[in-house]
């Protein structure tokens, strides 16, 4: 089982300069996740996320986000509601863009989960690196198959921009319940106010007792017309705390 304890490769790239950014802006995305079926329950998620970013003195910013969605049960009559929230603080330094934050999620047919994490991101000319370490917890893990009550987790990811509006990435994530490898892509048509993303995660060995555990996420993200996709991903931290597999 892979258990990340350090992400030293993040120090390899020089940090890129940031554009002048507004003191406040909104962000949002819509996503559908086809997740691994557990306990004979179709575990897919449809979710909207809306966030706001406040910027201070050009090098620090805070972000708050709210999530609302449903879990689908094979599109039957059962659509359990899901809600979540995220708070983070971000600052720029010679090491890169650093963030600390927390997230909580609740569903009326699932247990409440929480996460606290530290993220560091390094921006090169066309390659970005992201690393995350943190702790996760579940209020009652007996309700979730092969999930520990609490665990340390880590994630490392490299993103390549073949053009300013295309992002391709590879990553790996691990916690006490196993490991997940991921590949993803995001494309923003020129001058469109949205981008389209798709990401697939699959266990390298085993995750939560499943040798073939996998998740597929896809959706759209709102991107201002004044920015390229690369500029937007470096301006807003809406993806900084993203995980390939959720705690629930």
Q: How large a percentage of the chain has pLDDT more than 70?
A: 85
Query: What would the pLDDT profile of 21-39 be if each residue is shown by its tens digit?
Result: 899 999 999 999 998 877 6
CA dist., res. 172 & res. 208, Å (int): 16
Q: State the pLDDT at residue 145.
A: 64
Q: State the pLDDT at residue 141.
A: 61
Report the run of H or E that residue 159 belongs to, with start and end.
strand 150-163
For the segment 45-72, the average pLDDT, to the nearest whole number, is 94
Q: Cα separations (Å) of 138 from 65, 71, 91, 105, 223?
A: 21, 18, 29, 10, 33
Which residue is it, tokens 């697939």? 200
- DSSP-based helix, strand, coil % in the chain, nearest 5: 5, 60, 35
Query: Which two structure tokens, joined as six digits, stand for 130?
Result: 């992201």
Query: What would the pLDDT profile of 167-213 be if each residue is shown by its tens digit?
Result: 999 999 999 889 999 999 999 999 899 999 999 999 999 998 888 98
CB 102 within 8 A of CB 117: yes
Q: Residue 55: pLDDT band by 50, 70, 90 thresholds? A: very high
Is residue 7's pLDDT more than 60? no
Can you name the CATH fold of 8-235?
Answer: Outer membrane phospholipase (ompla); Chain C (2.40.230)
Is residue 126's pLDDT more than 60? yes
For the segment 67-96, the average pLDDT, to the nearest whole number, is 88
CA dist., res. 151 & res. 229, Å (int): 33
Torsion angle in degrees (nearest 10) through CA of 191, 159, 218, 146:
-160
- The phi and psi torsions of 60 (rounded to 5 degrees) equal -130, 150
State the average pLDDT for the chain: 88
CA dist., res. 84 & res. 241, Å (int): 13
Burial classification of residue 226, based on how many CB atoms lie within 10 Å of its CB (0-12 exposed, 13-18 middle, 19 or more buried): exposed
Query: Which two structure tokens, joined as six digits, stand for 176?
Result: 């006490």
Is residue 66's pLDDT more than 80? yes
Task: Considering only residues 217 and 4, tell me which one the structure prediction assigns the higher pLDDT.
Answer: 217
Q: Residue 78: pLDDT band by 50, 70, 90 thresholds? A: confident
> What are the sequence ranges of the domains in the chain?
8-235
- Which pTM does this prediction carry? 0.89
């Amino acid at each position: 089982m892979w258990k990340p304890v350090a992400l030293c490769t993040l120090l390899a790239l020089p940090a890129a300069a940031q554009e002048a950014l507004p003191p406040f802006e909104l962000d949002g995305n819509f996503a559908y996740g086809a997740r691994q079926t557990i306990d004979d329950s179709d575990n897919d998620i449809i979710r909207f996320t809306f966030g706001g970013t406040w910027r201070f003195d050009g090098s620090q910013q805070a972000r708050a986000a709210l999530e609302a969605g449903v879990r689908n049960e094979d599109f039957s009559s059962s659509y359990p509601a899901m809600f979540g929230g995220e708070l983070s603080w971000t600052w720029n330094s010679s090491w890169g863009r650093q963030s600390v934050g927390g997230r909580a999620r609740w569903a009326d047919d699932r247990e409440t989960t929480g996460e606290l994490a530290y993220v560091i991101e390094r921006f090169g000319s066309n390659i970005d690196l992201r690393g995350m370490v943190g702790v996760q917890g579940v209020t009652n893990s007996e309700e979730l198959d092969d999930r520990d009550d609490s665990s340390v987790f880590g994630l490392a990811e490299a993103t390549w921009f073949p053009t300013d509006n295309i992002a391709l990435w590879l990553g790996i994530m691990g916690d006490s319940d196993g490991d997940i490898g991921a590949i993803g892509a995001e494309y923003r048509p020129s001058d469109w106010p949205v981008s389209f993303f798709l990401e697939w995660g699959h266990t390298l060995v085993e995750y939560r007792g499943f040798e073939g555990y996998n998740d597929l996420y896809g959706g759209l993200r709102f991107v201002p017309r004044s920015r390229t996709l690369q500029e937007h991903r470096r301006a807003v931290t809406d993806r900084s705390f993203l995980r390939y597999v959720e705690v629930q």
